[in-house]
Structure 1
Amino acid sequence: MRIQREEILNKIDGKEIYVYTLSNENTSMKITNYGGIILSLITPDKFGTKDDIVLGYDNFEDYKTTTTYFGAIIGRCANRIGKAEIDVDGVKYKLAKNDGNNHLHGGVKGFNRVVWDSEVLNDKDGEYLKLSYLSKDGEEEYPGNLEVTVEYKLTKENELIINYYGKCDKNTVLNLTNHSYFNLKGHASGDILDHKVRIYAKNITAADSESIPTGEIRSVEGTPMDFSNLKCIGADINKEYDQLINGNGYDHNWIIDDYTGELKKAAEVIEDKTGRMLEVFTTKPGVQFYTGNFLDENEIGKGGVRYKKRQGLCLETQYFPDSLHHSGFSNIVLKAGEEYKHTTVYKMSIINK
């Protein structure tokens, strides 16, 4: 695989912004070192027609102000932290309240809004993109000088491999993910309610009306949250069920079955008309399935398309939301000197050729 780089005429904090194109025989994608954002992902359908299957903007300036997090690296801590407070080693840290009374996706200036150092490297499978960032002690009120690296690899098997690494000089909190919105019919094709989804999880972390976990581990069996077999997103999304009401649709953490820390399948998505399939593998214990419930037609995306409610879906691999406040949840504390190392794979393929 080869990678091309182009510089765009836009500097932030004195740093150059680049767009990298990763491509193989079937697929091409663009990534920028601003926020590590996946700008586009162009793949063929079963008829050989290529389309862009992730939501985003044509105007780069929109990525600086958006609250959608389209395609970005999320950190230091993905998802929500209740009351925007954490306790690390007995020290309380008050974080930014950027989601009501709570903290969301790393704060006001999370990893989605910083310029990453970038370089193209080689391994046995060809070139890949390496992004690096030093999050200084006290940035967004988090403790410790944190060195973070994210690698993007596109394989000949149409796998987008994302490797996450981190190391800090103090005990801190770290929970990285990617926030791409997928629409397997094409980003401009309307809602994703006819997409079929399977999530390899028997339980969710139930959430309150602010989308903060209550601490309850709830079985999905017999509920609208059950995606243990392939099911259309639209089949149950409007049911009168407390979790759907609280989240305005699906916006919850599914607990991946039989978690071992090894890479395993978390979810798959199928769109019958195009024959596109997306499989998600991860070393993380959870995945946030979000159905774009807060998109509205004021969000003008690529090609001037007005993205409406539920035009994209996210599968954000993660540690559980608000983990520090719930015993028995996943451990998101990275100890000083230890390495944070996780992998997520988005594999694209065609069925029903």
Structure 2
Amino acid sequence: MSAKEMSGWLVQGGTIETIAISRGPFRAQLLNLGATLRALEAPDRNGDSANVTLGYRDLEEYRGHPRFYGAVAGRYANRIGGARFALDGRTYTLPKNNGENNLHSGPLGLDQVFWDVSHQTDHSVTYSTLSPAGTNGFPGNLHVDVAYVLEEDGLAITFTATTDAATVVNLTHHAYFNLAGEASASTVLDHWLQIPASRTTPTDPTMVPTGVFADVAGTPFDFRTPKPIGRDIGSQDVQLLQGKGYDHNFVLDTPPGRIRRVATAFDSVSGRVLEVHSDQPGVQLYTGNHLAGGAAGTSGANYPSRGGFCLEPQNFPDAPNKPQFPSARLDPGQKYTHAMAFRFRTAADQGEAFPA
């Protein structure tokens, strides 16, 4: 395959192909580029379905634009400080694509490669790819699979990976949601959100965790009790000023290793409730602070700033450089797994959306 430069990112040549899967009221459209979820339809309280994820109208826009709409983020999702890490006494240098840091692994990350379809049914598809040793500076030939399965209440996603040399891995899904519907072109500031996390990993001015843990009590980061996303986003909290909104990792109160609910979001107009489930230790909340000015969305609308939110379950950012964080190491003979799901229901009001 050929390669070309577009928007400063190395983009692989090839044909972008779509796959549609459905089950009951749920429908999804997926792309082989980035194993991307382009659209996900879910019903509102009246039974009317709408696409609730953001994406591009023109498939070619998925090449080279670092918004990561609906893509698999990796090899290492989120930021690695200084674009380097040490493993077994050797330092590995990565591309700097986020100031001095590495974000979502850099050019030709998993979001910008063409994945193979290894299994497909009417309601599921599994994509597979090989990330060769040395890609963006990472060691090990990494074999990755991501399985999308539409279930009775939403979309389950399972990541698996194996390597032939010691490496670091952190895979997540980068869907942007607007539960009012992608075509609404509204912000998500009125969406209610609840995250069962008593701590965050605060960041330095470059948005890399400092390595300490901060209690959320009495701060804009306290989502233990449901509140609108926009209630505190405009406060003068230094963390929100640095991120121009929320772009932070929340340390989940329940231990990792088993799948459990990690966040709940609710749109009172449509009645849609999204529950995010995962077996990972953290979840990154990103409130689409830089969405304005992009290419036309799936329905043709242009998204405003904060026109969508991401809830990305994952290991902590910069874990390869922070021994106090959960290890991101993967060795030969081991299998990395991350099981997560976007599950939907409807509610008449806030009380029903967030039952005690």
Superposition TM-score, scaled by structure 1 size: 0.93
Q: Could you tell me which amino acid in structure 2 is paired with residue 311 of structure 1?
A: G
In the alignment, structure 1 residue 192 sits paired with structure 2 residue 188 = yes
Which runs of structure 2 are paired with 1:1-353 in the superposition (5 Å)? Answer: 17-121=16-120, 127-155=123-151, 157-189=152-184, 190-352=186-348
Unaligned runs of 5+ in 2: 1-10, 350-356
Q: Would the aligned equivalents of 1:131 and 1:149 in 2 still touch at CA under 8 Å?
A: yes
What is the CA-CA distance between 1:44 and the residue it aligns to?
1.6
Q: Would the aligned equivalents of 2:56 and 2:295 in 1 still touch at CA under 8 Å?
A: no
Distance in 1 of aligned mates of 2:309 and 2:57: 20
What is the CA-CA distance between 1:159 and the residue it aligns to?
2.3
Q: Could you tell me which amino acid in structure 2 is paired with residue 112 of structure 1?
A: D
Distance in 2 of aligned mates of 1:43 and 1:342: 23
What is the CA-CA distance between 1:48 and the residue it aligns to?
2.3
Distance in 2 of aligned mates of 1:311 and 1:72: 17
2:242 match: secondary structure: helix
Whose strand fraction is larger, Structure 1's or Structure 2's? 1
Distance in 2 of aligned mates of 1:351 and 1:258: 25
Once superposed, what is the RMSD of the aligned Cα atoms? Answer: 1.5
Judging changes above 3 Å, is the alpha-carbon distance between structure 1 residues 127 and 192 closer, same or farther for their aligned structure 2 residues?
closer
Name 1:8's counterpart in structure 2: none
Distance in 1 of aligned mates of 2:239 and 2:123: 43
Distance in 2 of aligned mates of 1:258 and 1:37: 29
1:337 match: secondary structure: coil
After superposition, give the CA deviation of every residue in 1:64-109 in whole Å (9 maximum; x if it has no partner): 0211100000110000000000111111111000000000001111
Q: Would the aligned equivalents of 2:280 and 2:315 in 1 still touch at CA under 8 Å?
A: yes
Judging changes above 3 Å, is the alpha-carbon distance between structure 1 residues 302 and 99 closer, same or farther for their aligned structure 2 residues?
same
Q: Would the aligned equivalents of 1:170 and 1:337 in 2 still touch at CA under 8 Å?
A: no
2:240 match: secondary structure: helix
What is the CA-CA distance between 1:16 and the residue it aligns to?
5.0
Distance in 1 of aligned mates of 2:107 and 2:64: 11
What is the CA-CA distance between 1:311 and the residue it aligns to?
0.1
Distance in 2 of aligned mates of 1:119 and 1:21: 15
Q: Could you tell me which amino acid in structure 2 is paired with residue 136 of structure 1?
A: P
Q: Would the aligned equivalents of 2:61 and 2:295 in 1 still touch at CA under 8 Å?
A: no
- How many residue pairs match? The answer is 338
Q: Would the aligned equivalents of 1:299 and 1:308 in 2 still touch at CA under 8 Å?
A: no
Q: Could you tell me which amino acid in structure 2 is paired with residue 63 of structure 1?
A: Y
What is the CA-CA distance between 1:24 and the residue it aligns to?
1.2
What is the CA-CA distance between 1:349 and the residue it aligns to?
1.2
Distance in 2 of aligned mates of 1:216 and 1:14: 42
Q: Would the aligned equivalents of 1:71 and 1:179 in 2 still touch at CA under 8 Å?
A: yes
Distance in 1 of aligned mates of 2:100 and 2:28: 36
1:216 match: secondary structure: coil
1:99 match: secondary structure: coil
Distance in 1 of aligned mates of 2:13 and 2:290: 33
Distance in 1 of aligned mates of 2:48 and 2:335: 42
Q: Would the aligned equivalents of 2:74 and 2:110 in 1 still touch at CA under 8 Å?
A: yes
Q: Would the aligned equivalents of 1:120 and 1:127 in 2 still touch at CA under 8 Å?
A: no
1:92 match: secondary structure: strand
Distance in 2 of aligned mates of 1:121 and 1:19: 12
Distance in 1 of aligned mates of 2:172 and 2:72: 6
Q: Could you tell me which amino acid in structure 2 is paired with residue 144 of structure 1?
A: G
2:63 match: secondary structure: helix
After superposition, give the CA deviation of every residue in 1:237-269 in whole Å (9 maximum; x if it has no partner): 001111111111110000111214111110000
Q: Would the aligned equivalents of 2:22 and 2:123 in 1 still touch at CA under 8 Å?
A: no
Unaligned runs of 5+ in 1: 1-11
What is the CA-CA distance between 1:181 and the residue it aligns to?
0.3
Q: Would the aligned equivalents of 2:288 and 2:309 in 1 still touch at CA under 8 Å?
A: yes
Q: Could you tell me which amino acid in structure 2 is paired with residue 202 of structure 1?
A: S
Distance in 1 of aligned mates of 2:160 and 2:39: 24
Distance in 2 of aligned mates of 1:97 and 1:81: 9
Distance in 2 of aligned mates of 1:274 and 1:14: 40
